[in-house]
Amino acid sequence: MKEPFKNCDKSAGRLEYLFALHRDLRGEIRDRIAQRDRFAVQFLVAVCAVVSISIMGFKYAPFFAAFIPVVAIFYFVQISYSYVVHNGISEFLRNHVEPEIARLVDVPAQTRHGMFWETRWEFLRKIRGDFPVGIRQRFFEAAMFVSPFIFLFLFLALVLDSEHRYPSALVYPYAIFVFAAFACAAFWIKRGFPDGRVRASFAPRQKFDSGDPIELCNKYKFSDRAVFIDRDGTLIVDKIQPKNPSEIEFFPDTFESLREIQSKGYRLIIATNQDGIRQGKLTEDEFFKFNARLRETLAGEGIYLDAIYYSPYESKDGHFSFKPNPGMLFQAAEDFRLDMRNSYMIGDRPSDYMAALRAGARPLLVGTGTYSAEEKIRLDEFARRQGLRICSGLREAASLIPPARQD
Q: Which residues contact 113 (CB under 8 A, 6 or more apart)?
A: 119, 120, 122, 123, 124
Cis, bond preceding 324 (omega within 30 deg of 0): yes
**How high is the pLDDT of residue 388?**
86
Q: What is the CA radius of gyration of the chain?
A: 27
d(CA 70, CA 186): 10
pLDDT above 80 (res 109): no
pTM score: 0.58
- Give the mean pLDDT of the chain: 85
The three-point CA angle 393-292-371 to 5° equals 35
Average of per-residue pLDDT across 35-50? 92
Catalytic residue among 224, 232, 238, 352: 232
pLDDT of residue 190: 77
Amino acid identity, position 138: R
For the domain spanning 213-399, the CATH number is 3.40.50.1000
Beta-bridged to residue 347, according to DSSP, are 365
- Per-residue pLDDT reduced to its tens digit, 166-210: 888 888 888 899 899 998 988 888 776 644 343 444 567 887 776
Reply yes or no on whether 306 is catalytic: no
User: Coil, strand, or helix at residue 161?
Assistant: coil
* pLDDT tens for each residue of 341-389: 999 999 999 999 999 999 999 999 999 998 888 989 999 999 999 888 8
Percent of the chain exceeding pLDDT 90 equals: 38
Per-residue pLDDT for 407 more than 60? no
Q: Active site includes 232? A: yes
Mean pLDDT (whole number) for 124-149 = 74
Pairs from 163-172 (Cβ < 8 Å, separation ≥ 24): 164/59
Domain residue ranges in the chain? 6-196, 213-399
What's the pLDDT at 366? 94
- H or E stretch covering 347: strand 344-347
pLDDT at 211 > cutoff 70:
no
CA 312 and chain centroid, separation: 10
pLDDT in tens, 224-267: 899 999 999 999 999 888 889 999 999 999 999 999 999 999 99
How far CA 145 is from CA of 69, 109, 177, 302, in Å, comes to 8, 43, 16, 54
* Length of the chain in terms of residues written: 407
Q: Which of 230, 306, 348, 352 is catalytic?
A: 230
Q: What is the pLDDT of residues 92-106, one digit of tens each?
A: 888 888 888 888 888
